[in-house]
């Protein structure tokens, strides 16, 4: 049985949906969990609801250990406060799950600067800030650690109108995950990313009427528990797609090259050959 006894985990966006499922599962496996959530609306406005506290109460009623935190992952000082307060209380950080996110769907031509910047600030910048602070603490402690990020199929295979900000952030998180895995390897810091499909507040416009039990956020949580555990040693730099009971790795693939006979192409030759180049792209 995989256990996380004596481990300390931070879960951002832990008050609802997938984050709540992760927090409950990590606590159920024995970890002490810091449930971080601003308690905002889906678009990031009106912070202050008690979602983080509600999850903490669930964990405590089940016999687990948890505290609530409402610091913003988009604010460097707040992220440092989150990490420092966790270290002050528990003397260690072993696991960070970067899950916080907001949505502001607009077509590119109608998307305001703030709509773009604010979404990247929470998803991409927030993941970077939490990863940086966690890696510093983990390296200093000398015990290694686990960082689990969140990306989306919108970034790599299913672009959707109105998601330029969200998809851009999630694409950046894939790259950030790879770099963190490389840089953390010597310190035993393992970094992976999830690309989950689940029925949550964020996915409601797409999945609200899909009652497939495999879309319950709790179905994704066991992978988080595994990746947070000692059993995942050596599994790093991976992106895992988790959807409807299936788990797969996601990679960036390059199709077989088509070479010019002269070593240089003309625009006309490219126009003639481009259909075969596109047709050979891996799916």
* Residue of 22, 156, 157, 166 marked catalytic: 166
252 pLDDT exceeds 70? yes
Q: Please determine, for residue 33, whether its predicted confidence score (pLDDT) is greater than 80.
A: yes
Exposed/middle/buried for residue 32 (C-beta within 10 Å: 0-12, 13-18, 19+): buried
Predicted pLDDT at 205: 57
Q: For residues 37 and 173, what is the distance between their CA atoms, to the nearest angstrom?
A: 20
Cα distance between residue 99 and residue 202, in whole Å? 12
**Rounded Cα gap, residues 222 and 111, in angstroms:** 36
Three-class SS of 250-275: CCCCCCCCCCCCCCCCCHHHHHHHHH
How many other CB atoms are found less than 10 A from the CB of residue 97? 28
Q: Could you tell me what percent of the chain has a pLDDT over 70?
A: 94
For the stretch 50-94, pLDDT in tens is 999 999 999 999 999 999 999 999 999 999 999 999 999 999 999
Classify 14 as helix, strand or coil.
Answer: coil
User: What's the average model confidence in pLDDT over 218-230?
Assistant: 97
Q: From residue 212, give the alpha-carbon distance in Å to each of 49, 217, 219, 220, 242.
A: 29, 11, 11, 14, 14
User: In this structure, are residues 93 and 145 in contact, taking their beta carbons and an 8 Å threshold?
Assistant: yes
Residues 224 and 151 in one domain: yes
Give the mean pLDDT of 224-239: 98
What mean pLDDT do residues 89-116 have? 97
Q: Are residues 90 and 166 in the same domain?
A: yes
* 2 located within any domain: no
- For residue 207, what pLDDT is reported? 56
222 and 258 belong to one structural domain: no
Domain around 273 = 253-283
CA-to-CA distance for 101 and 121, rounded, in angstroms? 9
Verify that 133 and 211 share a domain, yes or no: yes
Q: Is residue 282 part of a domain?
A: yes
At residue 213 the predicted structure's pLDDT band, cuts being 50, 70 and 90, is low
Statement to judge: residues 157 and 270 lie in one domain:
no
* pTM for this prediction: 0.93
Tell me which of 41-45, 224-228, 236-240 is least confident.
41-45
Q: Long-range contact list for 109-117, CB < 8 A, 24+ apart?
A: 111/164, 111/165, 115/165, 116/164, 116/165, 116/168
The question of whether 22 is a catalytic residue gets the answer: no
Q: Are 82 and 34 in contact (CB under 8 A)?
A: yes
Shared domain for 100 and 16, answered yes or no, is: yes
- What does the alpha-carbon distance between residue 63 and residue 228 come to, in Å, rounded to a whole number? 20
- Tell me which residue of 136, 245, 250 sits closest to 193, measured CA to CA: 250
Please tell me whether residues 244 and 214 are part of one structural domain: yes
Q: Are residues 82 and 221 in the same domain?
A: yes
Least confident of 65-79, 210-224, 267-281: 210-224
- List the CATH number of the domain containing 42: 3.40.50.720
pLDDT digits (tens, 9 = 90+) for 118-161: 999 999 999 999 999 999 999 999 999 999 999 998 888 888 99
Both 119 and 224 in one domain: the answer is yes
Phi, psi of 220 (to 5 degrees): -85, -30
pLDDT exceeds 90 at position 225: yes
* Structural domain count of the chain: 2
Query: According to the 3-state scheme, what is the secondary structure of 33-63?
Result: EEEECCCCCCCCCCCCCCHHHHHHHHHHHCC
Place of tokens 């256990």: 3
Instruction: Please list, in sequence order, all residues whose beta carbon lies within 8 angstroms of the beta carbon of residue 215, skipping any fewer than 6 positions away.
Output: 197, 198, 199, 207, 244
Q: Please check whether residues 200 and 274 belong to one and the same domain.
A: no
């Amino acid at each position: 049985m995989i256990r996380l006894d004596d481990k300390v985990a931070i879960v951002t966006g832990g008050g609802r949906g997938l984050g709540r499922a992760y927090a409950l599962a990590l606590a159920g496996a024995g970890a002490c969990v810091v449930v971080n959530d601003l308690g905002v609306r889906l678009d990031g406005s009106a912070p202050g609801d008690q979602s983080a506290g509600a999850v903490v109460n669930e964990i405590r009623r089940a016999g687990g250990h948890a505290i609530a935190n409402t610091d913003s992952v988009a604010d460097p000082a707040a992220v440092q406060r989150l990490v420092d307060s966790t270290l002050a209380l528990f003397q260690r950080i072993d696991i960070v799950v970067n899950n916080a996110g907001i949505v502001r769907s607009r077509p590119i031509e109608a998307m305001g600067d703030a709509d773009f910047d604010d979404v990247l600030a929470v998803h991409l910048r927030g993941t970077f800030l939490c990863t940086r602070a966690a890696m510093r603490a983990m390296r200093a402690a000398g015990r290694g650690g686990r960082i689990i990020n969140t990306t989306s199929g919108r970034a790599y295979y299913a672009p959707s109108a109105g998601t330029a900000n969200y998809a851009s952030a999630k694409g950046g998180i894939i790259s950030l995950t790879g770099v963190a895995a490389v840089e953390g390897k010597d310190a035993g810091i393992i970094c992976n990313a999830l690309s989950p499909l689940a029925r949550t507040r964020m996915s409601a416009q797409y999945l609200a009427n899909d009652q497939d039990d495999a879309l319950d956020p709790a179905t994704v949580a066991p992978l988080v528990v595994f990746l947070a555990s000692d059993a995942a040693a050596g599994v790093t730099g991976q992106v895992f797609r988790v959807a409807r009971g299936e788990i797969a790795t996601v990679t960036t693939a390059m199709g077989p090259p088509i070479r010019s006979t002269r070593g240089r192409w003309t625009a006309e030759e490219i126009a003639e050959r481009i259909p075969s180049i596109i047709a050979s792209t891996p799916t």
